[in-house]
Amino acid sequence: MYGKKWSPLKIFSKKSVGLSAFREDMRTIEDIRAAVSSELSAFERQMDEAMSSRQPELAAVLDYIRSARGKRLRPLLVLLSAGMFGDVTAQAYHAAVMIEMFHTASLVHDDVVDGADMRRGRAAVHVAWSPKAAVLLGDFLLARALQLAVQYREYEMMEEASAVVAAMSEGEMLQLEKAATLDITEEEYYRVISAKTAALLAMCTRWGTTAAGGGADDTARMRRFGHALGMAFQIRDDLFDIAPSTAAGVIGKPTGNDLRERKLTLPVIHALRQASPERREELLRLLSKGDGLTNEDVVCIATAVTELGGVAYARQRMEAFADEAARALSFYEDRPGTGLLRDLLQYIIHRDC
């Protein structure tokens, strides 16, 4: 079970059942992390050990990566899922480390592919070092994760992880293909985000459950929870590009990063479907500019997408996936970790960044 500093059972509240409305008492990601602080500390120690190299330049890049840890959503999901069904075992830590290494490798490679200059508030690896260094770092992390799987004798986990990483690459290729043609259906969009985001989160909850001794039904149910949570997570991310609202509903300026990469996300896909032929043609003309989009162009697209119902529709679909995830958790109302996972779900769909 979790560390004794903060019992999930004591902080669970039935108020957390409703997912669509913003809750003023919603716990922050820091609150949720605090409930498993000792387990996260143990994970960090193992992660630091795994992300090491005797090659000086590679070691320097790895130190740079380690110093910006992010929210650690994926290991958090592994640990919380394990804690629901028993002890946080060595296998749970193995899963958390491997999955976070796969995720980190994908971020490093994605930044090169997308030409993204910033990651977690500072220069991306390919900017701070070079594109070659970034590619080699991503390759090292992928190979190191597989090496650890062999060392741990986690062959089934390695098989699933390899399939998930291959699917992530396929999802990225599909997105690149559709960005070139500016033609993607809603179903294809779901295929992309399922492969790129949701499948890895489903692996987190599946292996956390398995490592703690959950049965076959539990594993299948928690995999569904993780996948639905991942779909909601990615749609929320995509909404930031068009309507970066706070939890209280205050609208900020659209970032337009996806628009400049010609990525058609769910709000844009729905808006194009609802637009008149003339307005659709004008939107596609702007979207085709890609890197050439000005800030005024981005605001113009975001305004049109909002007026055409794209933002409202994407939020509706996000909440539907969140409700699907909540239904999977409803089988475990009496377990001490359910409240934490439900609050993590709440955080994901109401977060500001």
Please check whether residue 2 lies inside any domain of the structure: no
Instruction: Write down the pLDDT at residue 121.
Output: 85
Residue 251: per-residue pLDDT:
47
Block means of pLDDT (10 residues each) for the chain, 353 residues, are 40 38 66 95 96 95 91 96 96 97 95 90 94 96 95 95 95 95 97 97 98 97 98 96 60 81 97 98 97 95 97 97 97 90 94 80
Per-residue pLDDT, 10: 31
User: Is residue 1, in this structure, part of any structural domain at all?
Assistant: no
Domain extent, residue 243, equals 19-350
> What pLDDT is stored for residue 45 in this prediction?
97
Predicted local distance difference test score (pLDDT) of residue 68: 86
Report how many domains make up the chain. Answer: 1
218-253 pLDDT tens trace: 999 999 999 999 999 999 999 999 986 544 344 456
Tell me the per-residue pLDDT of 252-278, one tens digit each, with 9 for 90 and over: 568 899 999 999 999 999 999 999 999
Tell me whether residue 74 is in a domain. Answer: yes
- Is residue 245 in some structural domain? yes
In a domain? residue 10: no
Domain presence at residue 217: yes
SS (H, E, C) the chain: CCCCCCCHHHHCCHHHHCCCCCCCCCCCHHHHHHHCHHHHHHHHHHHHHHCCCCCHHHHHHHHHHHCCCCCCHHHHHHHHHHHHHCCCCHHHHHHHHHHHHHHHHHHHHHHHHHCCCEECCEECHHHHCCHHHHHHHHHHHHHHHHHHHHHHCCHHHHHHHHHHHHHHHHHHHHHHHHHHHCCCCHHHHHHHHHHHHHHHHHHHHHHHHHHCCCCHHHHHHHHHHHHHHHHHHHHHHHHHHHCCECCCCCECCCCCHHHHCCCCCHHHHHHHHHCCHHHHHHHHHHHCCHHHCCHHHHHHHHHHHHHCCHHHHHHHHHHHHHHHHHHHHHHHCCCCCHHHHHHHHHHHHHCCC
What CATH number corresponds to the domain at position 27? 1.10.600.10
Domain-embedded: residue 75: yes
